[in-house]
Amino acid sequence: METNSIIVYIGIIILIFILLKICIKPIKKILKIGLNSIIGISIIYFINIIGEVFNFRLGINIWNAILYGSLGIPGVVLLILLKIFILWYF
* Position 33 in a domain: yes
* Position 78 in a domain: yes
* Position 16 in a domain: no
Taking the CA of residue 85 as centre, how many other CA atoms within 13 Å lie in the half-sphere pointing to its CB? 6
Task: Using pLDDT thresholds of 50, 70 and 90, give the confidence band for residue 19.
Answer: confident
Query: Which tens digit of pLDDT belongs to each residue from 28-49?
Result: 888 888 888 888 888 889 989 9
What's the whole-model pTM score? Answer: 0.66
* Position 5 in a domain: no
Q: How many CB atoms lie within 10 A of CB 53?
A: 7
* Position 3 in a domain: no
CA quadruple 6, 12, 15, 16: dihedral sign: negative
pLDDT at 1: 61
Among 64, 72, 61, 80, which residue's Cα sits nearest to residue 34? 72
Query: Which tens digit of pLDDT belongs to each residue from 76-88?
Result: 898 889 988 988 8
pLDDT at 15: 92
* Position 75 in a domain: yes
Q: Which range of residues forms the domain containing residue 74? A: 25-89
* Position 47 in a domain: yes
